[in-house]
Amino acid sequence: MKFFLDTANLDEIREAASWGILDGVTTNPSLVQKEGKTFQWLIEEICRMVNGPVSAEVVSTDTAGMIQEGQDLAHIHPHVTVKIPFIKAGIPAVRRLSEKGIPVNVTLIFSPLQALMAAKVGASFVSPFVGRLDDIAHDGMALVGQIVEIFGNYDFNTEVLVASCRNPLHILEAARMGAGVATMPFKVLEQMIHHPLTDLGLKKFLEDWEKIPKELRTASAVKV
């Protein structure tokens, strides 16, 4: 499974990239707005940090506008994946951009049929929003399972990018279902690292190490 970070914060991206497990980044207008920086400069900086897809979203809602905006975004950097919401006008826009060789991430997917239609017009990624479905008492991960099952029946190159992940359990279930990508806030990525038994185990190891006399702690002090 690929791990994407859902943020536009350069410090978070820099740290996650330093761990060697970051495969891409997803942004949206809300995340960009929080950073208070010029949009193009921010996307360029993110692309320099990440050796993988960086989703940048269009704000036009008509087909011609999305196509033009998508082409402009793609010219910013080769890592840019154009993010288009699943609306009627977006369907032909995804087709045109895909035909031009521009990767597209179709966002705001809330049904398996939306995902299927996006795949049929050549989307590189479809992004089901699991957390937002959970918020309205729907099973977000059930949607992911349906999409993975449907895509497994056909010869699509579209990857399932699980979005709106609110906790590590979303990532775990997505991986078990075989989704190709999960995108998450930095805090969720950090939560995945920690386990109380790991912390307790390390604490015990270090406490026991301190009980060893200092003169016996080096490799040269080992007696045969």
Can you give 82-106 as a three-state secondary structure string?
Answer: EEEECCCCHHHHHHHHHHCCCCEEE
Q: Whole-model pTM?
A: 0.92
* Residues in CB range of 79: below 8 A, 6 or more apart: 47, 50, 51, 52, 53, 54
**Residues with a known catalytic role:** 83
Mean pLDDT over the full length of the chain: 96
- 17-54 burial string, b = 16+ CB within 10 Å, else e? beeeebbbbbbbeebbeeeeeebeebbebbbebbebbb
| Sequence ranges of the domains in the chain | 2-195
Which helix (H) or strand (E) segment holds residue 4: the answer is strand 2-6
Per-residue pLDDT band at 224 (split at 50, 70, 90): very low
Task: For residue 3, list its beta bridge partners.
Answer: 182
| Tokens describing residue 12 | 């978070």
Distance CA 8, CA 110 (A): 23
The DSSP output letter for 57 is E
Q: Percent of the chain beyond pLDDT 90?
A: 95
* Assigned architecture for domain 2-195: Alpha-Beta Barrel (3.20)
3-state secondary structure of 54: strand
User: Each residue of 155-168: pLDDT tens digit?
Assistant: 999 999 999 999 99
User: Each residue of 32-73: pLDDT tens digit?
Assistant: 999 999 999 999 999 999 999 999 999 999 999 999 999 999
